[in-house]
Each structure stands twice: as structure tokens, then as C-alpha cells.
Structure 1
Amino acid sequence: MVFNSLFNGSKKESFPLYLVGLFIALNFTAELTKFKNLTVILMIAIAIFFLFKNYRLALAPLKNKLFFSVIFFVLTIFYSLFISIDPQISFDSMNKPILNSILLFSFVLPIVLHKNSAIQIAKMILISIAAGLVITCVRDLLMYVDEYHQGVMPFTEMTHRDLSDGYVLCFPVILSLWYIYKKNSLPHWACLIVATMITIIFMLGTFARGSWLAAVVMSAIVIIFNKEKMLAFMGITALICGAVTLVSYDNAQQHPLTRKMEQTSSSNRYGGGTQGTALELILQNPIKGYGFGNSVFHRIYNEQVKDHPDWIYKQSLGPHNVFLAIWFAAGIVGLLALIILTLSTINYAYRAFMASSSNTITAQAVLLLMVSFIGWVIVRGTFENVYLNVLGIHLGLLMALGFRIKAERIPE
């Protein structure tokens, strides 16, 4: 289904799909920066061409509450520049994640894809994210092989943590593709189990507990939406067996991986730890804020740590919470803007999913974007410092797909 007759139509119409798909896949590679930048430049050029050709039609995908919530959020970040203790540092910090990612891709991607059909966009999303998962796993495997040759055993070092980003963004695609191809045959179930086990093993090696929790929550949401009772039973059973095995393991505290699994507050996040101290700083100035950027947070924290002997860390580790980070940066209005953006995204995705319920591929692509966003922002963002630049891809693809679903009037 997904891989057969990928793009119906002329080469001219298909080029934006190939370009966006290549851009998404390249985001999971370590190098190839020049090629990534080239795809971005080409997308911007195509967007400008469409705007000059027919700006009313090109801008139609942006006429929704989700895009306005994006603009509101970006404006609050600009506000944080004016009140920042160091506007230059704040501007440098916001340049890539806010201007060149959230704002840019939320604006460009819907315009670039506005002429393609919903099914074409959905197929592109599923294939490019599946390719991203494969790329991430291959990179991870090559790292393990290289470390083994250097005498480093697997699951003993935290050198794979950066790959957790790719796993969080891509993991739900396994369940989405399985649902699309669902046949309930032995080979079919075997492929699901093998792909899931490989990905889970690699995810455990990242030592990123936020990504582990995100994977569980995302899987639960997909299973609930797809009404997969058997998968729910298998998942719960696997979690119980894993917990029992961990508890019964005699030398759990001696192994880095099992020790990480048993920790409940690895960064002493509450009280005098990361999130606790971040909240203390915020409550000193909850309305106005301090300015955007981790560098601003580090400066404020490090200046005040001498006055707080109860703070565990004498050097800042960051707030370890995306909502606290934005609240710290732009005050209460920034926190409100992020909450509105989060709720608008989920609402927009849910409506698009319901509107496309008669088309399995389109519905699964929407569900994939929605759960990936939830896993990244709400779940992982509650426990770790996450990169906001990823949201531009989520939001841009979601608006492009949602617009086409509405335009084609897919029956509910």
C-alpha cells in the first residue's frame, strides 16, 4: 500500500514530496549538513515560487488556529529578547530553534506541499520517518561495533544518548505501518516483534529514560486509537515481565543500565535539583521572565548558587523541563503560549485523524505526527531539555496534511 505507486502524478508535482521526504530523512544523519541545507534552500525557493504564482492558494494551508498559535508562541519569544538580561545571547539562542525551525518550517512546508493530495503527503511522511528509524538504528549499530573494537562493551556508556531523539520521533511508525499492513499472519507478527525488539534494545542503550517513557506513552496512544486489544495485552505483559526480571536481577545496582532503570530522580530534579531550582528562579520573577536561551538560565543560576547552599548542583544543568524553560524565558505569557500551542496541535491532529478515518494510510500518518509530538513535547519535555527545532517539522507536516484532508472533504 504505502510503498506501491508512491506518488501518482507528474514529476513536477512529485518533486516537492521527494524533496520534503529527503529533508526529513537527512535530519537523522550525523553529517551531510550541506545536503540538509540544500534541501532547505530548495524548499524555500519552491515556496517563494508558489507565493508569486498564486499567493492566496499557497497561503490557504496557513489559515487555521494552529498556525496562529505558532505565531503567538514566536511573538512571546521575541518578547523575551526585549526583557532579556543579554539580548544578543537570547537572539543567538532563538535563531535556530525558533526562527530557522519552528517558524520557518511551519510556514514553508504547508506551502511547498499545498498542491499534493492527502494520500501522497501521508505516504511521504510514513516512508521518510521509517527511513529515519532505519538510519538511526544503523548509526547506532555502527557505533556499537566501533566501541566494541575499542574494548567498550554495549550498554555500559552513555555515548548513544544523542540518538534517543531519532528513536522518540520515529518509534510510532512501526505500529502505524503494522496497522496499515495488518494481516494477522505469522510472518506479519514476526516482523512486528523483531522490529520492535530491535528498536527497544537500541533505545535502552541510549540511557535516556525520557525517551523510554515517551515510547511507552506513544505506543499506548496508538494502540488505543487503533483499538488493538491483542497489542495492548502483549505490551502490558512485556512490561510486567521486564519489571519482574529487573527486580529479580541480583546484581542490578552493579550494571549501569539496570541502575539507570531503577533511579527515580537521576538528576535530583526535585527540591534542590534541576526542576526544583528552576522553579525557584522562576517564582522570583514569574510574570516578566529573564530572557530566552540555556545560556541565560545558566548565568542566572550560577550567579545565585552561592546564595542557595541547599542547591545540589553548583553549576547549572538546565531546567530539564521545556515548560519551565519557556516560563523562565518569557514569563507567564510564554508559558501560556506554549500550552496553547500544545493544545492546538493535539486538537488539530485529532480533528484531522477523525476526518480521515475512512482512509487508513492518511489516518495513520496523522496519528504518527500527533503521538510523536506528544511524546516529544509533553512526555520527554517534562523530564529533559528537548530541542524545540524538531517542532517545526511536526507542525509544518501536520498543517500540510490537515489542509489537504479538509480540502478533499474526506468523509468521517
Structure 2
Amino acid sequence: MTPLPPALRNPLLWDKILTGGLLLYSLCIFLPGVTALERLGLVTALLISCTGGRWKACLAHLRHPAMLLTITLLGWFTLSATWSVAPDITLTSVQGVFKDYLLILPPLFFMLADPDRRRWFARGLALAGLVIVLVNSAQYVREWLQDPALLNNIKLHRGWGHPLVLFFPFALLQGRLARGKPMYLWYGLAVIEAMMIMATGARGAWLALAMVLVVWLGHDFDRRRLLALSGAGLALVVLAYFMLPAPLFKDRFADGLSTSLRTSGTWGPALQMLDERPVLGFGFGKPIFDQEFNRRAPTEADWSIKKSKGPHSIYLEAGFSGGYPALGLITALFLVIFVAGIRAAARGRQPEPERLLALACLAAFAGFYITRGSVESVQWSALPLLLAPLVFLSPPRQRRP
């Protein structure tokens, strides 16, 4: 057999490819029509992690409370197939939503074990935000050229608020670490992302953005940076409000302040159905929620929506699927992750790049899952991307003598 060229025998090359695969996956889970690229990134990272004992890097972290709670929650969702109103749908949904958790954790923890790989990953997530900005901008241009009236449809860009919220803190991270012109470029990207989040007209996205900023500034307060970032952001928002076409920003801002039917159309019905099966739930799977909602809606006079739009909350999604035990598990999981993130992002606990990476992951988690996840349905697939770094970077508790 012909030996591999020396360049291909270099472990550093394969480590870079592994990190690139993770970044490709991280971006593609938010892009439509690129499932093949998403799977390519994940499978590439997984296969490389299976060689040379790289996969063993994850073993030391499986006993972390956040990992144990995650495994318990996924196990409960899987067990719900035994009492689900539609067992086949539950098994299919659990496999489709959570199989990547088992596949991505080995390469993720190996990637995190090296400072250079952590730096590549953090910068890659910031650049993924740039890709989302470019794709979203291209959609605006396409709609403007096709029919300017399309800009009045506030729903066409609402989905982009999810990746923008997730990647926004990593632009702040790069701006915080950079100096000179690159610093202004990264902060400029963060401001554009914030503007695009506002332009979605989604209050959940606005609340998530506010939470990201509160967490970030609360842990990394610096008066000079705060004034510079706030001034630049305010100037651009004012310019966008008064100079851009009204449908592009101003109308979206007004639409986002309109009242919602969530209380009587999504959250209320979800809680009502949860109380019907409080211990076990109905089984995991969005089709099950839609089926049960649509079956009851015609006879429920208090339900303001007559066709399911989902529970509009990752907490209620968990509760409907697995009863109050699942609701308790996901609440405990998110609390443990948040506390671990606070400890990892505390000043003086570890070198500044690692602390800021933990802060970016904490801010993204607080905005995406804790805040937006409470008022809207969000993707489960992004959770390991934030969970693994926070578990890895959170310092172990000191045992009492």
C-alpha cells in the first residue's frame, strides 16, 4: 500500500479539518436546502474524532451535571415512545432531532481541548454570522427586485433571527479580542446583526438580543467600549429607521410591538393539554402536538387559534412531550448550564480568551434558549454547540477538606 504523503500524515491538518467540519455543521443547521453539506461536516468531524483516540476527550466530561441532565432528558423523551399516543412518530422524532447529539459531542470535546482549535472555532462561529448577514441581505435585495411589496411581509425574514441571535455574541467576542481596524470591523458586523434582528419584527428575537447584551455587558463591563458600541449602534439604528424604506425597518419595528395571540392560542392550549397527561405527556414529536391541538380546537371556544402553530416555547414543548417530569428536567438543565456559564465567564478564573469564549457561549445560550426559547419554538440542534464549551470551560467545584 502506498503510504500517505507527509502532509496528510500531519495530525494538525486533520485537527483543522475536524474543526472545519464542526463549523460547516454549525452554519448549515440554519440554512435551508443544504442538508448534504450539514451531514458532510458532521460526518467528517466524527470520522476524524474516531481515529487516534480523539473520541476519548469527551469521556471526562460526561459526568458533568449538565451532561447528566441532558442524557436523562433525552432518555425520558425516548422512553415516552412506550406511552406515546403515536409511538412511531415519537421514535422517528427523537431519532431525527437528537441523533446528532451523540455524533457531535466526541469531535466537539476534542476540538475544545486545544487553545488553537478553540480560537478557530470561535472565529468560525463569528464568520458564520457574517454568512447569515450576507444571505439575509441577498434575500432583501431579491425581494426588492422581484416585488417591493414583499418587504411588507414580516414573516419572510423572521427565521433569520434565530442564527443571528446565536452568532451575535461571537462577533462581540472577536471585536473584544481584536485591535485596530479588525476590531471596528467585528463590532460593525455585530451592529448589523443587531439591526437585522430588530428588522425581523419578532419580540422574542428582541428580548433575546436584550438578554445577550445584558449578559455580555454584565460580565465584561468597560465604560469606553460600552459607550463606543452603544453610540455606533444607536447611530446606525437611527439611520436605518429614518433613511431605509419603511417596509424594510420602520414597519417591521411597529409590527413587532403589536399584540400577540400566544396566551390563548399557543401557551394556554399547551398547558391545558399538559394538564390532561401531567405525569407522562403525549410523547415527543411536533406532529403529535399538531394532531392533538387540531383535534380539540373546534370545540374549544377559548382557543383563539384554530389550527396548530406549535407550543411556541421549548419548555412547553418538553412538558407536552414528557409531562411535568420533562418540564422539570429541561428547567433544571438550563439552570445548571447557566450557572456553569456564569462561573466559567467570571473574571480571574481563567485566561482572558477562554473566559470570553465562555461569555460568548453563555450570552448565546441565555438569549437563544432561556429567553427566546421561552416565547418561541427554537431548534434543539444548536444546544450541543453551546453546552460542550460551557461544560469544558466551567471550573470544577472545589471539594471541602
TM, length-normalised to structure 2: 0.83
- Residue 241 of structure 1 deviates from its aligned partner by 11
Deviation at 1:96, TM superposition (A): 2.3
* Whole-Å separation in 2 of the counterparts to 1:230 and 1:39: 40
- Matched to 1:219, the amino acid is L
Match of 2:103 in 1: 104
Shift of 1:136: 0.2
Counterpart-to-counterpart distance in 1, 2:150 and 2:137: 10
The aligned counterpart of 1:402 is: 393
1:322 pairs with 2:275: no
Match for residue 197 of structure 2 among 194, 203, 220:
203
Question: Match for 2:252: what amino acid?
Answer: L
CA separation of 1:319 and 1:397: change in aligned 2, threshold 3 A: same
* Alignment: residue pair count: 380
Higher relative contact order (CA 8 A, sep 6+): 1
Q: Runs in 1 of length 4+ with deviation above 6 angstroms?
A: 234-243
Alignment correspondent of 2:254: 259
Amino acid at match of 1:381: G
Match for residue 159 of structure 2?
162
Q: Which of 177, 180, 196 is the equivalent residue of 1:180?
A: 177
Corresponding residue for 1:144?
140
Q: Is the 8 A contact 2:78 2:90 kept in 1?
A: no
Letter in 2 for 1:368: A
Q: d(CA) in 2 for partners of 1:191 and 1:43?
A: 30
Partner of 1:279: 271
Contact 1:105–1:392, Cα closer than 8 Å, also in 2: yes
2:63 is the alignment partner of 1:63: yes
Instruction: Specify whether residues 304 and 234 from structure 1 end up closer, same or farther in structure 2 by C-alpha distance, changes over 3 A only.
Output: farther
Q: 1:134 to 1:93 in 2, by over 3 A?
A: same
Q: Which moved more, 1:217-226 or 1:174-183?
A: 174-183
8 A contact 1:220–1:232 mirrored in 2: no
SS where residue 23 of structure 2 aligns? Answer: helix
How far, CA to CA, are the matches of 2:16 and 2:69 in structure 1? Answer: 30
Structure 2 distance, partners of 1:242, 1:21, is 30
Question: In the alignment, what sits opposite 2:3?
Answer: none
CA RMSD of aligned residues (A): 3.3
1:380 alignment partner in structure 2: 372
Instruction: Report the CA distance between 1:332 and its aligned residue.
Output: 1.2
Cα distance in 1 for partners of 2:51, 2:182 equals: 44
**What residue is the counterpart of 1:269 in the other structure?**
262
Q: C-alpha distance in 2, partners of 1:355/1:16?
A: 30
What residue identity is the alignment partner of 1:93? Answer: S
> Aligned pair in 2 of structure 1 residues 125, 190: CA closer, same or farther (>3 Å)?
closer
Q: What's the counterpart of residue 6 of structure 2?
A: none
> SS of 1:276's equivalent?
helix
**TM-score, scaled relative to structure 1:** 0.81
CA–CA separation in structure 2 for the residues paired with 1:15 and 1:313 = 48
Alpha-carbon spacing, 1:96–1:239, altered in 2? closer, same or farther (3 Å): farther
Which blocks of at least 5 consecutive residues in structure 1 are unaligned?
A: 1-7, 407-412
CA distance in 1: counterparts of 2:234 and 2:203, whole angstroms: 15
For the 8 Å contact 1:25–1:128, the answer to whether it is kept is no
- Which of 97, 108, 111 is the aligned partner of 1:113? 111
Give % identity: 21
> Secondary structure of 1:10's partner?
helix
Aligned position for 2:213: 219
Whether the 8 Å CA contact 2:278–2:324 is kept in 1: the answer is yes
Partner amino acid, structure 1, of 2:101? I
Match of 2:37 in 1: 35
1:339 maps to which of 331, 337, 341: 331
- Quote the Cα distance in structure 2 between the aligned partners of 1:123 and 1:365: 9
Distance (whole Å) between structure 2 residues aligned to residue 191 and residue 57 of structure 1 = 35
Q: Is the 8 A contact 2:144 2:151 kept in 1?
A: no
Which of 107, 120, 129 does residue 124 from structure 1 map onto?
120
Structure 2: how far apart are the matches of 1:355 and 1:121?
22
**Structure 2 counterpart of 1:300, one-letter code:** E
The equivalent residue for 2:399 is none
Q: 1:154 to 1:130 in 2, by over 3 A?
A: farther
